[in-house]
Structure 1
Amino acid sequence: MSHPPSPFQRPQSTTSRGDESPLPQGQCRYLLLHPEVRGQRCACVGFALNKSTPGSSCNCGHLAVYHLTAPTEETLADKEEVETMKARILLLEKLLEREREAKNHLTVRVSALEEHNEKGRFDADSEIRNVYRGIEGLWRHFGALDRRTRYHDDCIDALMDTTHATQDDIRTVQSRIIDLDDASMILEDRVDGLSSTPRRISNSISRRPSSTPPRQPHSRRSRSSQRSSHSGRSNRAMAWTVHISLMPTASQPFPFEKDTMAYKRVLSRGLHRVVSVPGHDSASFVTATSIEFASLLKGRPWMPLVAKICDAEHVTGLPMLRQLPPNLIDSSLYDMDFLTAHCATLDHNGHILDLYIGMCNDYFSWSELASSPVFLPGLEACWVFDPFLDGASARDNEEAIDSVVDDLKAEDRQSAGDLLRAWSPPASRLKRSATGITRTSSFGSTDSGASVVSKKSKTGHATAASCVLPGVESRDWRAEAV
């Protein structure tokens, strides 16, 4: 429904829209009224209607009449250039915005990396602190271990001192045992001397004619013979084997140690043999041993030696050898019981392991053994010249010895068991009185062993009687200290 026009309503201008179209578009030609600058026109290059003010004024502040109707070609070119510049500026702004966004993203990543680095550094610092704490604990343990090591070293030093003191005590005891052994040997020699005098008297009486038979003396030898014959009758004949070593000399204190030059020499000539004995009686043992060593003994008398396992320092386990007392040197006594009780070395079951024998009145020299038949081949290299065994001057005088060897006396030959003759001073320098004789506490050297044998092999009862120690008495053929 339409309303009639009001008389008071102002009719709208019909030329308002039509007036906008003819507005100028060119540049402003208004002369500026600056007194300093004359003839200078407005810098507006195109009309732009200012809608904030009524009328047709440009944004430059001048009316439309001061503007040209159409823009010039130069103005159009400038306008296009301005539009191009605007587009480029917009593009640059977009690129700048992108770069800003990329920088912001890079900043975020760098911040994250810095946080991660800080966190890793913190973790590394904590781990290093833990490691330092662990190292500190290890150093504490090292200090405790060092203190404990010093304590153990002190304990070991104390034990070593105690061990040395114990060894000194053992040497002292060994020296006393040796002195007791010397006293026992001296007393045995005296008893032998005292017992031989009644035997000689009884023998002289038995040669005289008498109406009554003489009374036979009851000696230790007769008792041993009766015991031997009784055991021979009671035990049935049984074959047995034994390792027998023939010593070069009966006065040798020790057998040769295994794998030494002297041991290889006697082994190559058969002085160590295993003998098969057909029975336990003395005749079987004597016959088997004489037959086995016939090529070396050549009919010379021999006797078994007393062997005792040595427990002294440096020679532990090596048997000590000495000769039988004169009243026990009789081939009719050498049965198994006699050998077990007096001569042989035994195992833990009491069985015979080794026997040692020697010639009664003779000995072997190295030259004699070298000329003997070879028993065990492959050991001839041990017979090369040795100054310790063959003598220091033997090689220098070899031609002279070969020329006069047949003229030498038997007592001038060097015994194979005498290892110190070539290196010893003259006998006149070694002679001393019986009161100056002393004993050493060690069996470690050959000199001490030779001195022991020289003392044990004395047969002169006058000298033995003068060496009796005070405080020692004889009881039942044994020496005891009181």
Structure 2
Amino acid sequence: MPELKGYRCGCVSFSQNKSVPGVICECGHFACFHLNSANSLSPGKHHDDVELLRQRVQALEQQLLSATDGQERLDQTIHRLSQMEEAVERNQEEIRTDFKSSYKHMSAAWSLVEQLQKRLSTFEEKQNLQTVQLERAGKELDDLRNRNLELLETDEMLEERIEQLEQPTSSRQPTGERRSASPEAGIPAPKHSPSPSQQHHSTTDKLKCDTSSQSPIHPVHLDLAEAPVPTAIIPSGVWTMHVSVLPSRDQPFPFEKDTAAYKRCLSRGLQRVVPVQGYSAEAITSAISKFFHPVLQNNAWEPLEAKVCDARRLEGLPMLRPLEPEINRTAYDMGLIMGRCAVRDGSGRIQSMYVALKRGKLSWNTIRDFPVYMEGLESSWAFDRFLDQDGESDGDLDGEGADVRPRRPSMSQVTTLTKPSVSLKRSSAEMELGGVGSNGSVDGESEAPRAKVARTCIPDALDFKARYESDLVSRY
């Protein structure tokens, strides 16, 4: 109650009610109930300031509320930013993982591409090999077709030959009429065995080769046009044959391939493939003289007689020997060349020939001085104890065909075993000494001792011959 001592009005401050006389507060109480002391200020005096303060406090509260809302928004923004950063990081990790997997896939793809390239190169090589094999097979097929045609032609020629041989002897052309025909129209067909003198001089008899089919030596009655040349074996236009110029006409065998002597002759053009225009003896001889002019040098030459040897150790090699002086003419007919001098193939075509100087020999020094025909074979001219000999002077070829002494053992030394110059038998003059008495007197000279006749004797001739033959086969 306000009238009670010590009690105050519930108003916070005193606000005088000026409409009523006295000191009464607007709440109806007297001022005594509002003031603690008489000196205290009246609360109504600062009412406006209080209102102003209240308004300011309210504004501050509103600002605080707005600031709180902004902080919440900021917190929300920060939270969202953190979430976005986490999402970005996760996306980056996923992208890195995808890149790594992509790199792995790309490396695997490149490895596959490399494997495919290797397989492609392998396939290309196989294709090239197959193409080469197909081309080779095509060439072989063409060769087989040509050989089949040649065999058919040969079969027809053999049938014609058999028919000619089956004809009666009276219906055949006499030998004289056949000889009157052109010398280029026949192939020799010798039917006689060699005479004993020929067998004595033949190298094939000493080398155990069968000489029963050798041609006879008759200066006048030699038949070199026994059968006509089949038209199937006559080439048209230019044809080729292999010609070898041998250092000596007494050489019994040609040099074997890849030997030192073979390489020496090949390097200086003693072996060449000669093109021939036409199928005649004149064409052959003129072609040989033309292409071997640097070697022959206008010296007289002759073809050597060739026969394929059928001995066991020398089977397939052509045996060579000079032609007999009776048929050693300047002009050679086609029958002589094809029948005795040329090595022919299965179809009858001329494959190779061997020629030599009529007089003289070619030494290795002389051959070495010839112009180089084929490069890359100079190593064959190194010293060889089987080919080169010290102390031998070089011979020269002149127009008269002087002897050319070789620096090495010539192949003609093989025939020294077959020549009668060194004989193991006594001559007839020595045999006459066999009738002399025991006292050694001859024609009344009873006291004079019998003079010994000097003979050349080769000890162990058979063993020497076997060793020489073995060495010949191994070297040449």
TM-score (norm 1): 0.40
TM-score (norm 2): 0.40
Larger helix proportion of the pair: 1
- Which structure ranks higher in relative contact order (CA pairs < 8 Å, sequence separation ≥ 6)? 1
